[in-house]
């Protein structure tokens, strides 16, 4: 009996090392996200899971434990390809690094991109927020919040980036900076900080910005995790009235900051739709159907004034 248990245990260990085994009796469309621990990516999984139930598709939920684990995501992609699914849905962690692995994967399996781009032209379809437009909306929202407090869109502002080299973040920041330059010459970007992907670093960056810039009137944090840290710093220093913080994405913590005024606005994507429609697109490809090359899943500015409206409320509290 002991020998049998040891053999069984060894088989389980080998299976876990080799990655997931996809169900043979269904069309399989794995979804690979950047960070399985993040609330944002859990919403993507929720959408994908519901699509799997509605459409009869097997949807393995895959991803690394951190958005900075680039090599981990590459390995997960390679393992998923080896299982020969109908298609793969992936949110690339890093623009340059994921380019060649996606090129190679696409030679064997249709690749559907969501959320973030990569240095590849091999995506069969791409579903994402127009991040440049999102960055412009964030700039408009920040200017509006500063104007409401100070009478004009004038003063010092700052930018906090979640991680370097991420396509979606670079696009958001580009849109943000271009909108400031084009429409709000009175807003001066005095600091452009890059974090390491940790909320505690966002907290420290925001605390330092508050200390070093007494005339700071606004900050754009381009990612949920940085918003958690920056929002905490604003709350702890009681600066919500004088420093307007606008962020991308939301979870329970940042929604709390929106309610108490530590955050002026949240720029929301539709991760649930990305997950759902990503799987739906994979199923369509398995049937030989034509799919759109690009789908804009939208971006919406949520403030305390509109957060209880039907559309905004659904984006703040998507199905889980």
- Structure confidence by residue, pLDDT tens digits, 126-141: 999 999 999 999 999 9
Dihedral sign of CA atoms 73, 128, 195, 245 in order: negative
- 171 & 253 share domain: yes
Q: Is residue 314 part of a domain?
A: no
Please say which residue of 228, 251, 268 terminates a domain. Answer: 268
- 36 & 151 share domain: no
- 167 & 146 share domain: yes
Residues in Cβ contact with 239 at an 8 Å cutoff, skipping those fewer than 6 apart: 210, 233
Report residue 314 as tokens: 């659904």
- What does the pLDDT look like over 25-37, one tens digit per residue? 789 999 999 999 9
Mean of per-residue pLDDT scores for the chain: 92
- 94 & 191 share domain: no
Report residue 164 as tokens: 């370097």
Cα–Cα distance, 1 to 123 (Å, whole number): 50
Q: What is the pLDDT of residue 11?
A: 33
Q: Is residue 312 part of a domain?
A: no
- 210 & 61 share domain: no
Q: What is the pLDDT of residue 26?
A: 84
- 275 & 290 share domain: yes
Q: What is the pLDDT of residue 21?
A: 52
CB 90 within 8 A of CB 274: no
Query: Of all residues in the chain, what percent carry a pLDDT higher than 90?
Result: 87
- 94 & 170 share domain: no
- 112 & 189 share domain: no
Q: Is residue 7 part of a domain?
A: no
- What does the pLDDT look like over 149-175, one tens digit per residue? 999 999 999 999 999 988 889 999 999
- What does the pLDDT look like over 22-73, one tens digit per residue? 655 789 999 999 999 988 999 999 999 999 999 999 999 999 999 999 999 9
How many domains are there within the chain? 2
- 72 & 136 share domain: no
Query: What's the CATH number where 263 sits?
Result: 3.40.50.2300
Q: Is residue 305 part of a domain?
A: no
Checking if the pLDDT of 239 tops 80, the result is yes
Q: Is residue 47 part of a domain?
A: yes
Cα–Cα distance, 275 to 50 (Å, whole number): 9
* 3-class secondary-structure state, position 71: helix
Q: 21 or 231: whose pLDDT is higher? A: 231
pLDDT mean over 225-247: 97
Domain range spanning residue 121? 23-129+270-298
- 144 & 249 share domain: yes
- 72 & 158 share domain: no
Q: Is residue 8 part of a domain?
A: no
Q: What is the pLDDT of residue 39?
A: 87
Q: What is the residue whose two structure tokens read 């020998």?
A: 3
- 192 & 143 share domain: yes
């Amino acid at each position: 009996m002991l020998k049998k248990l040891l053999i069984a245990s060894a088989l389980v260990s080998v299976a876990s090392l080799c990655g997931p085994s996809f169900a043979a009796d269904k069309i399989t469309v794995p979804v690979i996200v950047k960070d399985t621990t993040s609330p944002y990516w859990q919403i993507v999984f929720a959408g994908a899971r519901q699509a799997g139930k509605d459409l009869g598709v097997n949807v393995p939920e895959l991803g690394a434990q951190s958005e900075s684990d680039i090599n981990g995501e590459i390995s997960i992609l390679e393992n998923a390809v080896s299982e020969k699914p109908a298609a793969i849905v992936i949110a690339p962690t890093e623009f340059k690094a994921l380019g060649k692995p996606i090129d190679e994967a696409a030679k064997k399996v249709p690749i559907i991109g969501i959320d973030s781009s990569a240095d590849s032209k091999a995506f069969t379809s791409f579903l994402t927020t127009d991040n440049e437009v999102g960055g412009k909306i964030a700039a408009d929202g920040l200017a509006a919040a500063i104007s409401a407090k100070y009478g004009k869109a004038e003063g010092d502002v700052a930018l906090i980036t979640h991680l370097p080299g991420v396509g979606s973040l670079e696009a958001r920041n580009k849109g943000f900076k271009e909108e400031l330059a084009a429409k709000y010459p009175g807003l001066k970007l005095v600091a452009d900080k890059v974090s390491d992907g940790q909320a505690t670093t966002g907290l420290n960056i925001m605390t330092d910005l508050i200390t070093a810039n007494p005339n700071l009137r606004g900050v754009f944090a381009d990612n949920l995790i940085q918003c958690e840290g920056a929002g905490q710093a604003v709350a702890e220093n009681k600066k919500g009235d004088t420093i307007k913080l606008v962020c991308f994405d939301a979870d329970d913590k940042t929604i709390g900051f929106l309610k108490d005024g530590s955050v002026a606005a949240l720029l929301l994507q539709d991760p649930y739709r990305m997950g759902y429609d990503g799987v739906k697109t994979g199923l369509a490809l398995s049937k030989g159907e034509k799919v759109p090359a690009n789908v804009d899943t939208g971006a919406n500015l949520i403030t305390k004034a509109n957060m209880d409206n039907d559309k905004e409320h659904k984006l703040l509290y998507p199905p889980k």
